[in-house]
Chain A
Amino acid sequence: MLILEEVSVRVGQFVLPEFSLEIAEGECVALMGPSGCGKTTLMETVCGLRSGMIRGRILLDGVEISGLPPGARGIGLVPQDVALFPTLTVREQLEFGPKLHGWGRREIRERTDGLAEDLGLEKLLNRVPHGLSGGEARRVALGRALALKPRLLCLDEALSGLDEERHDEVLQVIRKMIEREGVTALHVTHSRKEAEAIADRVVVMG
């Protein structure tokens, strides 16, 4: 369960006014709003990637995470530009988090193979990101974010730039994975249609 209590963030001259939100465990919330209203800033603050939170508290499963480093928050992120590590294979991308957290070799192998099967990545495991299609890259980024079994999944316009066919395909995969993993999700998007298709609830900022 994610709770934002009157969170206000300052980034340079921009100030995000106090914002509160509650997302129940396992719920998927789509966050919408006009460009520049601070959706991505808020998501990055929740992930611990932006300092400058001047007011409020962020609680995840009852624990205040406002001052924790990003890696200790238990949050998986799928950024807008995907940001797959160019030098690593798909398998290495999926194993990146678990290896860092010192998982056992067998545990890592089982998790990676399971995610690859669920996301349809079995044949891509030895490929590097260069040459993957937009839809494939999104699925790898989703798998990488879910590999550590996060308590919250943050999707920052994760479907932008895809053609209609790939868009619908990846949307179905995201929806399926959120349900299968039982993870709480926060999805930032510009598209009302996408928000309604993916989320249990739509919240509009600004």
Chain B
Amino acid sequence: MEEKQGRDKIWRVRPEWPFLLFLVFVVAAYLGLLLLMVGANVLTVSWKDAWEILKDPDIQHSIKLTFVTCTATAILSVLVSVPVAYLLSRYQFRGRAFIDTLLDIPILLPPLIVGLSLLILFNRVSPSDCCWMMAGGFLLAAVSGCLWKGKGMVQSVTGGMAVVFGGLALLLSGNESSLEDIASGAGIPMTFHPLGVVLAQFPVAAAFAVRTMRTTFDQISPRYEEVAMTLGCNRGQAFARVVLPLAGKGMVAAGTMAWARALGEFGPILIFAGATRGRTEVLATSVFLEINIGNLPGAAALSLLMILLAVTTLLLVRFFVGRGGAM
């Protein structure tokens, strides 16, 4: 024993410096870029500019509309994502992987295409055309299902839906008005209207909410529902009494994620709802409009406000998801 009494030598494993330095360099470069982007906005804006722009009544309307539409989109996204994600998480059926892929399409599509598709759907397509398309889709699903695996429950349901939509298409065949005409007639105009902002934000926001809820339900053991069912619950009661209380945090996380995604939405809103000051302008379009009129400090001030909102939202998501989305 060469150690001197009273002095214990502490052995350390030498870090592999070149590899560690490489990792640190990549992280520093990426984080540096993000921080420099924020810093550039901070340098461009002054308190006076920020105050001036925030006092502008149009911008105040834009901020209010942003909060209202993002909140409406988030609520709508959670309402839709909970049943969709539960179905995909708990049920095994033919075509599940295909539906799962379809649900990711809004995330992958260029945002402008989402807006353009909504614009065409609401203004160039008649209700009977919509029904024909739905009937065709369901018929395709039913026939491909039958050819692939034979007759089954899903094939019967999709076949039935094809018949229903086919019948509706025939009933509506004389009506050549667009969906927008019908919506406007019912007092809920969409295109170039504040409600259109929600519809433009919804497809992508809901896709993110579905992903979050899917993860949440996957983390909840189906055994809880099974035990609840042996105690007298039907599927719906087991879902409402046992699964939903467990999915509370996941639902908040999904809503927050949808809210953040809606906040950043720009392309679909511009195409479908427009960028009319004091009417359909939200924060993302405000930044665009301020740049267009050459007010860079104003645009930078609004950008900082959006960054602040996005970071707060992300921290909230981390808080909820980090503590277990399934609780």
Across the interface, do B246 and A148 meet the contact criterion of CB distance under 8 Å?
no
Q: How far is the CB of A103 from chain B (nearest CB, A)?
A: 11
A61 at the interface (CB under 8 A from B): no
Chain A residues with CB below 8 A from B327, complex form:
86
Q: Which residues of B contact A73 (CB under 8 A)?
A: 230
> Taking A69-B234, A87-B246, A100-B231 as contacts, is the C-beta distance between A77 and B221 under 8 angstroms?
no
Cα separation A59 to B120 with both chains bound (whole Å): 60
B232 touches A75 (CB 8 A): no
Q: Assess whether A77 is in contact with B230, with CB atoms less than 8 Å apart.
A: yes
**Are A96 and B231 touching (Cβ within 8 A)?**
yes
- Verify if A79 is at the interface (C-beta below 8 Å from B): yes
Query: A71–B246 contact, CB under 8 A?
Result: no
How long is the Cα–Cα vector from A81 to B227 in the complex, in angstroms?
11
Across the interface, which residues of B come within 8 angstroms of A96, CB to CB?
Answer: 228, 231
**Once the chains bind, are B221 and A81 in contact (CB under 8 Å)?**
yes
Asked if B52 is at the interface of the complex by the 8 Å CB criterion, the answer is no
Distance, CA A144 to CA B224, complexed state (A): 13
Are A69 and B229 in touch, CB under 8 angstroms?
A: yes
Q: Does chain A have a CB within 8 A of B242? A: yes
Chain B residue numbers with a CB within 8 Å of A147 are 231
Known contacts A83-B223, A87-B245, A87-B246, A100 near B230 by CB under 8 Å:
no
CA distance A44 to B227 in the complex (A): 11
Complex CA gap A195/B227 in Å reads 23
Report if A33 contacts B (CB, 8 A): no
Interface residues of A in 37-89 (CB under 8 A from B): 44, 47-49, 69-71, 73, 75-77, 79, 81, 83, 85-87
Tell me whether B246 and A49 are in contact (CB under 8 A). Answer: no
Is there contact, CB below 8 Å, between B232 and A100?
Answer: yes
In the complex, per-residue mask of B210-241: 1 if CB is within 8 Å of any chain A CB, else 0? 00000000000101101111111110010000
- Cα distance A87–B230 when bound, in Å? 18
Could you say which of A71, A81, A86 contacts B230, with CB atoms under 8 Å apart?
A: A71
- Residues on the A chain within 8 Å of B246, using CB: 86-87
B233 near A81 with CB under 8 A, answer: no
Q: Which residues of A contact B233 (CB under 8 A)?
A: 71, 100
- Which of B227, B237, B242 contacts A79 (CB under 8 A)? B227
Contacts of B231 in A (CB 8 A): 71, 96-97, 100, 144, 147-148
A101 and B223 contacting across the interface, CB-CB below 8 Å? no
Q: Which A residues are CB-close (under 8 A) to B229?
A: 48-49, 69-71
Do the beta carbons of A71 and B224 come within 8 Å of each other? no
Chain B residues, CB < 8 A from A69:
229, 234
Distance (Å) between the CB of A108 and the closest chain B CB?
13
A79 partner residues in chain B, CB cutoff 8 A = 223, 226-227
The answer to whether B232 and A97 have CB atoms under 8 Å apart is yes
CA distance A149 to B24 in the complex (A): 63
Pair A49/B245 contact, Cβ less than 8 Å: no
Contact indicator B242/A49 (Cβ below 8 Å): no
Pick the contact of A148 from B221, B224, B232, B242 — CB < 8 Å?
B232
Q: Is the CB of A81 within 8 A of B232?
A: no
Evaluate contact between A83 and B224: CB separation under 8 angstroms.
yes
Known contacts being A49-B229, A86-B246, A86-B327, is A71 close to B234, with CB within 8 Å?
A: yes
Q: Name the CB-closest residue of A to B244.
A: A87
Q: Are B224 and A85 in contact, CB atoms less than 8 angstroms apart?
A: yes
Q: Is the CB of A100 within 8 A of B237?
A: yes
Q: Which of A48, A71, A81, A87 contacts B223 (CB 8 A)?
A: A81
B residues in contact with A48, CB < 8 Å = 229-230
- Complex CA gap A75/B226 in Å reads 12
Contact B226 A71 (CB under 8 A): no
Tell me, in angstroms, the Cα distance from A83 to B226 when the chains sit together. 9
Tell me which of A83, A86, A100, A148 contacts B227 (CB under 8 A).
A83
A-B contact pairs, 7 of them (CB 8 A): A44-B226, A49-B230, A69-B234, A71-B234, A77-B230, A87-B245, A96-B231
Residues of A within 8 A of B (CB): 44, 47-49, 69-71, 73, 75-77, 79, 81, 83, 85-87, 96-97, 100-101, 144-145, 147-148
Which residues on B are within 8 Å of A, measured CB to CB? 221, 223-224, 226-234, 237, 242, 245-246, 327
State the 5 A-B residue pairs at the shortest beta-carbon distance, nearest first: A97-B231, A71-B232, A100-B232, A83-B223, A70-B229
13 further A-B contacts with Cβ under 8 Å, apart from A87-B245, A87-B246, A100-B233, are A47-B226, A47-B230, A49-B230, A69-B229, A71-B232, A77-B227, A79-B226, A83-B223, A83-B227, A85-B227, A97-B232, A100-B232, A144-B227
